[in-house]
Amino acid sequence: MTAADTAPTGLAQGWCALSLLHSRIEGHIERALQARHDLSVREYSLLNVLSRQHDGDGGHLQMKQVADAVVLSQSATTRLVTRLEDRGLLARYLCPTDRRGIYTEVSEAGRELLALARPTNDTALREALDAAARIPELAPLVRTVEAGPGPDATPA
């Protein structure tokens, strides 16, 4: 085997760069949210996703949809919901039309915390992207993130 045989492919290098960018951004946001609001990135994401629910058709998310949106397993999402419920940031209630369904909604305290944490999240994200843009391997990915999803993208 030669050194060329073990050299990463362009695809592998791209994946490594994407993983590095994600890790840097998440770590920076995590530190900022923890320090200022005692929230993890996952907790913030869950509050953010659930805050966008509404009472109209398709307005309430099933736990699988929530899990997909916050990129966790259903069991990890349920544990996260329970933690935030214990802190008074979320509440669960039975679906009025289907007693088997359980909805989760952000409490008033959760909405207040989310409103305080959102600028922290946004500032930390901007800081992390600006820092990553100065790294040549990450700069193209930063530009892609900044461009946002294309017109055919479906929201999470």
Nearest alpha carbon to residue 115 among 79, 76, 89, 96: 89
- Domain of residue 85 covers 14-146
**Does residue 76 sit within a domain?**
yes
pLDDT at 2: 59
**Does residue 7 sit within a domain?**
no
Cα distance from N-terminal residue to C-terminal residue, the chain:
44
**Does residue 4 sit within a domain?**
no
Provide the 3-class DSSP secondary structure of residue 132. helix
User: Sign of the CA dihedral 144, 146, 147, 151?
Assistant: positive
Q: Note the Cα 6 to chain centre separation in Å.
A: 34
pLDDT at 103: 81
pLDDT at 155: 57
pLDDT at 7: 61
Phi/psi for 10 (5° steps) reads -60, -40
**Does residue 2 sit within a domain?**
no
CATH number at residue 86: 1.10.10.10
The residue whose two tokens read 């490594």 is 16
Q: Provide the 10 A C-beta neighbour count for residue 3.
A: 6
Residue 142 and residue 129 in contact, taking contact as beta carbons nearer than 8 Å? yes
Q: Provide the 10 A C-beta neighbour count for residue 142.
A: 19
**Does residue 112 sit within a domain?**
yes
**Does residue 126 sit within a domain?**
yes
pLDDT at 101: 74
**Does residue 151 sit within a domain?**
no
pLDDT at 66: 87
pLDDT at 102: 79
CA distance 60 to 30: 27
Token code pair at residue 40: 């993890």
pLDDT at 64: 84
pLDDT at 15: 92
Phi/psi for 5 (5° steps) reads -65, -30
Classify residue 94 by its DSSP letter.
E
pLDDT string in tens for the chain (156-residue length) = 555 566 678 899 989 999 999 999 999 999 999 999 999 999 999 999 999 987 777 677 888 888 898 999 989 999 999 999 999 999 988 877 777 777 888 999 999 999 999 999 999 999 999 999 999 999 999 999 999 987 776 655
pLDDT at 106: 94
How many structural domains is the chain composed of? Answer: 1
**Does residue 8 sit within a domain?**
no
